[in-house]
Structures are given as structure tokens and as C-alpha cells.
Amino acid sequence: MSKTTNWVGQNLELTIEKVAHGGIFVARHDGRVVFVSHVLPGEKVKAVVYEDRGGSFCRAEPTEILVASPDRVTHFWKQAGPGGAGGAEFGHIKLARQRELKADVIEEALQRMAGIELRPVVEAAPGDDEANGLGYRTRVQLHVDEAGTVGPYRERSHEVVKVRDLPLAVEEIRETEMHNKNFQDVRKIEVSASSTGQVQWRIDNKVKGDERLVERAAGRTFRISGGGFWQVHKKAADLLATCVNDMVQAVGIDKEADNLDLYGGVGLFTSALAGRFGKDLRMTSVESFRQATDDATLNLSDLPKVKAVCAPVERFLNEKVGNLDKGGKTASPRNSTIVLDPPRAGAGAKVVDQLMKIAPKHIVYVACDPIALARDLKQFLAGDYELKQLRAFDLFPHTHHVECVASLVRKS
């Protein structure tokens, strides 16, 4: 088969080599890379090419598994898998093997992008193994088509799939039966359930049910207005807060320093740190979303030296760096601890550069994308920081997503 031929529609016989970022797997054919979904390393498959834009790679879906991996299982969700509902792309893989594959992705990203030789153990959240990784999602997004059918999108499309159940969701969400109702003139439905038993649904951004959710985590109470961010996995907030606290305790914290919680949301990590190290902790939570900042102000109101600021992180740090350049007084910036929990795209070069100019003693980086984390770590390590610890958590079973927490300490 010529390398210049468009392969769309071709059914190729392939041997799957390894996992790649994004929940896809790598094979090679006639000198080109073929990205294949819903397979496993070591499998021999037939796969039909559905996308070929020229260049060095194309994309394919399996049509037949010729030699199956011993780690392959029957998908737990009949409406998912090849050509079905999205959001459970690893559902055909044993849970323990899923975590090994996620470790593969993290290991390769760290080595390739940051020159770090490290393979973390991807840790399960409490209870997931007993529940086979099901029933953990406290936030679910569904879509509605013109006929009023409610369900997730089909993979790689905006076509709504009618499903009989939502097995990844917590019981409180499944009991709403939103996926079995018919809606008219509606596009999107978001359902959330709190750890205190509340249920909220937003129909095209109009909040129904409980207006404000109340969550309990890290020994504290959090109020979250409609649409505000909270961790998806029912155990994630406690797990991540404990991890951040442990990493901070290992290095130590100056409670009077100019400590920061960047992309602070409703104040989870600031609140958790104050719970561990004392209510006299000085810290500023920075969040660009006004509603979340208002929630954080309420959630942190009992902490006298804590404040919540509504501002884009880059602009906030620009002002702080500008004050340092002018010789302005700040509270011990070089002794400070900074928690960094950016969106999926990562902190980015500008924010990392600003942080290195501030030069805090300790940075704890919470990351939901290993590629973005590795890219940012490269910049930190090229500066004056060393990676002291990295932990990974499987907070999204049956998907390719994985959460990492990294501890970076200034060398000098």
C-alpha cells in the first residue's frame, strides 16, 4: 500500500504497540503511525481507517480482535465502546491494567518532555476496586437532541446516544432518571450530587433543585453555587487535599509568608491547609471565576489571615512580580508555599516564568493532564527547582484521565 494513498475505508491488520496520551493506542503500518481506539498493547486486530489527512499518521477503529490481550474484559456499559457512548474509553480493560497504562503515559511524558526518569504508581481512590470503578461520578453532563432524547454524545460526534443507565454516576444521580426522560427545546443537562445528599440539575444553565450545594471535605464545609467547580470523583477532594497537606508538611510552611493558592476555586486547598496548619495561616486564594471567588470568600470567612481574590492568575502574578521589581514590600515571598491547580491546559510558560521570578520555597502542582504537567515541569527544573515527589491518582476510572500532584522545592 503506497504511503501517499489515502487510507480511509481500508481495513488494516495491525499489532498494537503501546498506549498514547488521550486514550488511544499506537500501531504502525507501511511506515506510518496508526492511532487505534478500544484496543490494548500486544493485541492483533483488524481496524478500519476513519481519518487520514495525509502526513505521518491516521486514525482507525477495530473491526475484529484477532488476538486478544489477557487484560481485555467485556465492556461494563453495553451502550459504550466502539461507535457508542463516549466517556468510558477504557471500559474494555481490567481496572488494574488501566492504571498501568496511565502510568505508562505519565512515565513517557516525563521522560520525553522534561527529561525525568520516573514511573509513578497510579493509586486507586478508596472503594474503587471493590466497586469495580463504577458509581464514582458526582457530576454528569448529558445532551438532548431535537427529538428530546437525553444521553451522552456518541464518540467523536454530537449525536446523542440513548442509554439505559449511567453506571459511572453515583446512585443519587442515577435515581433522577434524567437519561430516561424526554425534554423539549433543551440542549444540555448537568446533574450534580453533593457529599451531603443534595442533588442539583442545570437545564441549559438554569439551576433546578438545590441552588447551592454543600460539600464536606478535609474536615471542612464548602458551599458551591450552581455551576461552580468541584472534583468529579466522590473521594477526590479529600484525597487531593490530604496529598497536598502531606507534601507541604514534608517541606514545612511559614504561616506568615505570602502563601498562595492559585486557581483556587471555592477554596478547597486553602481551607485544607488551614485545617492542618492552623487558622492563623496567611494565604491568598486566586480565582478568575467570580462566582467561585464569592463562594471561596464565604467558605474561608472564619480564617482571619486568608483572603479570596477574583483575578486571572497571570494578571495577579504580573502585579506581584511588578511590585518585587519596584522593591515593593511583600510578606517573605521566598519563604512562601504556593499551591497550583491549573485547568487541563496547565499553567503555561508565562505563569511558570512569573512563579520563578517570585521564587517561592515550595510549589505543589496539582495537574489533570500529564502532558501539560511535564511541559511545565521542564521549565521549573531548568530554573532553580527540583522535583521532590510526584504522586498519581486514578480519579477517573474507565477513562484515560489521571490526576498528578508534584512537589517542587527551590534549590537555593
Which position among 58, 243, 368, 404 bears the catalytic label?
368
How many angstroms separate the Cα of 54 from the Cα of each of 5, 25, 28, 58, 367?
8, 19, 15, 7, 33
Return all residues near 326 (Cβ < 8 A) that are at least 6 apart. Answer: none
- What is the grid cell recorded at 358? 517570585
Helix 349-358 vs helix 313-325: angle between axes, to the nearest 10 degrees? 30
> Cα–Cα distance between 344 and 367 in angstroms, integer?
7
Residue the block writes with cell 468541584: 230
Answer yes or no: are the C-beta atoms of 139 and 191 closer than 8 Å.
yes
Grid coordinates standing for 392? 498519581
Instruction: Tell me whether residue 368 is one of the annotated catalytic residues.
Output: yes
Contacts of 256 by beta carbon, 8 Å cutoff, 6+ apart: 282, 331, 332
The type of residue at 351 is V
- How many angstroms separate the CA atoms of 146 and 184, rounded? 8
Burial class (CB in 10 A: 0-12, 13-18, 19+), 298: middle
What's the grid cell of residue 191?
446533574
Looking at beta carbons, which pairs linking 319-323 to residues 24 or more positions away fall under 8 Å? 320/354, 320/358, 321/354, 321/357, 321/358
Helices (H), 252-312: 268-277, 290-299
**Which of 350, 345, 395, 348 lies closest to 370, judged by CA?**
345
Classify 19 as helix, strand or coil: strand
Residue-wise burial string across 123-137, b where 16 or more C-beta atoms lie within 10 A, e elsewhere: bbbeebeeeebbbbb
* Cα–Cα dist 188/142, whole Å: 6
C-alpha cell at 45: 486486530
Residues with catalytic roles? 368
